[in-house]
Structure formats: structure tokens, C-alpha cells
Amino acid sequence: MEEGNSIIYGLEHQTRALSPQYGESDAIRFLIGTQSLKPNSNQIHVVELEEDTGALHTKVFKHDIGEVWHLRCSPHDAATLLTTHNSYDPATSQCTMGVSVFKLPTVEVIPKDLDDLSAIQSRNADDMELLLTIKPEVFKHDIGEVWHLRCSPHDAATLLTTHNSYDPATSQCTMGVSVFKLPTVEVIPKDLDDLSAIQSRNADDMELLLTIKPEKPEEEIRCAEWHPTDAKRVGVVCEGGVRVHDVTTGAALSRAAASARLKFTGGKWNPHQGHTQLPPGVWPAFCIQGTTYRARRKIGLVRQYLTVATRILKTHAEA
């Protein structure tokens, strides 16, 4: 195959899941998961590129458990894969998500001879061996729709949600950040009785520890991130600025505003500089702007334009 040429592989159904076969070191092989709403119609396609000729060879396997939202091949075993899927249950008229581990019966795709090629082309989708399915443990989040979620690095049962809530009194939607405590982190059933109880019960309640509201009701909160080393601090990135809050009181410990022409879109704690910097993403112009809460000043601006291959680093300080 000449360098620069592209190869198109068409599918009957829509897809959003693609993974290389990490456990395979010799062949160029990847897997595709389909996303079809029709019952028992989803598939896993194993596609291999023949380098000498540029030809694509494929094998198709059934994924009747539901549409594939995410797919990852095991780095330890080329024949094992992990799918995140959405399944429709006719008994409850509801869709339920889950994670399943499958084992492919074979990873050989390229036919050895013409008879093998004819057999591959004529047969229907093969079955994969289902090793395990994990269903999610469900908890109520009645405060509103979840836009962003982070689990605490300090406590396995504590989580942080950025949410949008509708207020019937004002007929407006207001964003906020809430800290919740799970009643339990045990998900895997201990026996069949425990499994039956988990599958049949309704969503459990979480303990609401704190809710942080924006300073302006109309302000949009982009995300909230736990501080990597201080369990009492969270960084909240809003459209117009960044704030660091104390999760025990909700008080703002530090804040930095965005420039007039820029809007923040997200952010992550910088693992360097003693975890004192929270660089948020900036729109427009694909920017990353760094803010240090310790000195309450901006520490840098990185802009990357689509049409320019270079990066401009502009460092400035504001009192």
C-alpha cells in the first residue's frame, strides 16, 4: 500500500467504539463495535490490514447484549475484550447500561486459502464467549442532571458532581457543585441472594454533604475537580473564572477571573508546582490559561491555532 493512501471500511450500522488489539504484536488488527437500536443486531467487527496488498480482512461476531458505547481490547490477551453497552429490557421498558468481558473464539482473520476465504464470506456472525457482565449500582441524584463527575482521590465513597437544576419557583435552570457520600462502595454480590436484591431494588439515596452555587445565578459552571493532595479543597471552573472552595464550609478560598474576551471551558489541576495551579481550557482560539490560586494571579497563556503549527507562549502577571 502506498504511503498516504486511505482505506475505507464500511459498516451496516452506526458505530462509535473502536479499539486496536493491544495484545497483538505482529498483525495490524483492530475491533469495531456497532450501535444499532434493533434487537439482537449489534456486532463486533475484527478487521485486519494486510500490509503487502493493502487489503482489509474481517470477521464478525455477535454482540446481542446491546449497542456498544465503548470498546477496549485487553493488553494481556489478544482474544479478550471489554465492552460498555446499553441494553433494552422489554419487561421493564427501560434501558440499562453494563460492562461485559468477552472472549473471541479465534483472532485469525486473514484466510489461509480460497476455501477458507469462501467459508469466511458465506457464514453469519459468530458467537463470542461471555465471561462476565457487571451491572451498575444505582443511586439517586434528584438535584439535577449531571454535567461532570469526579470521585474523590482521598475517599472512595465521596464524589463531586457538577449539575444543572430546574427551579419551578423562578422557572430557571441553575448550575451547582455538590459533594455526595455513597452509603456503600460494595457492588459485586457476595451470593445469589445478594445478587437478586441488587437487581430488584430501586435507586438508593446518597448523603448530600455540600452544594456550592455560582456567584451569579445565570453563570455556567464548566466542571469541578478535587485537589490532588488536600481533601478539603476543590477547584470550580466557571465560564467567567476559577474559584477554589473549602468543601467543609463551601467558602471560596481564592478566585481568578477570565479575560473579557475569553470563556473558560474546563480545567485540571497541574501535578507540578506543588499542585497550586489549576489551568482551565479557554474558548475561543483553543487556549489553555493557567491560574495559581496561591498567588491569585494568571501564570501563563498557551494558544494553539488550527492553521498554525507553532505554539505561542505568552507569560504575564496581574496583580
Q: Which of 86, 108, 134 is the last residue of a domain?
A: 134
Three-class DSSP category at 184: coil
Give the pLDDT mean for 27-46: 88
What number of other Cβ atoms are within 10 A of residue 110's Cβ? 17
**Which of the four pLDDT bands, split at 50, 70 and 90, describes residue 187?**
low
Nearest to 201 by CA among 139, 122, 111, 114: 139
Q: Are residues 212 and 254 in the same domain?
A: yes
Q: Is residue 254 part of a domain?
A: yes
**Tens-place pLDDT, residues 269-315:** 766 555 455 555 544 433 444 444 444 444 343 333 222 222 222 22
Q: Which of 134, 162, 180 is the last residue of a domain?
A: 134
Nearest to 48 by CA among 85, 77, 78: 78
The three cell numbers of residue 49 are 490490514
Q: How many helices (H) and strands (E) does the chain have?
A: 2, 21
Q: Are residues 127 and 162 in the same domain?
A: no
Q: Is residue 93 part of a domain?
A: yes
The three cell numbers of residue 199 are 437487581
Query: For position 251, which CATH number holds?
Result: 2.130.10.10
Q: Is residue 126 part of a domain?
A: yes
Q: Are residues 270 and 188 in the same domain?
A: yes
Q: Is residue 193 part of a domain?
A: yes
Q: Parallel, antiparallel, or unpaired: how do β-strands 43-50 and 67-73 relate?
A: unpaired
Q: Are residues 52 and 121 in the same domain?
A: yes
Q: Are residues 41 and 185 in the same domain?
A: no
Q: Are residues 29 and 83 in the same domain?
A: yes
**Which of the four pLDDT bands, split at 50, 70 and 90, describes residue 136?**
low
Q: Which of 134, 169, 187 is the last residue of a domain?
A: 134
Q: Are residues 74 and 158 in the same domain?
A: no
Q: Are residues 130 and 205 in the same domain?
A: no
Q: What is the pLDDT of residue 200?
A: 53
Q: Are residues 127 and 191 in the same domain?
A: no
**Tens-place pLDDT, residues 44-94:** 998 888 878 878 888 889 898 889 988 888 888 888 989 988 887 777 777
**Which of the four pLDDT bands, split at 50, 70 and 90, describes residue 252?**
confident
Q: Are residues 106 and 168 in the same domain?
A: no
**Total domains present in the chain:** 2
Q: Is residue 159 part of a domain?
A: yes
Q: Is residue 319 part of a domain?
A: no
Distance CA 319, CA 315 (A): 14
Q: Is residue 140 part of a domain?
A: no
Q: Residue 25 sits in which domain range?
A: 15-134
Q: Is residue 76 part of a domain?
A: yes
Percentage of residues of the chain with pLDDT beyond 90? 4
Q: Are residues 179 and 77 in the same domain?
A: no
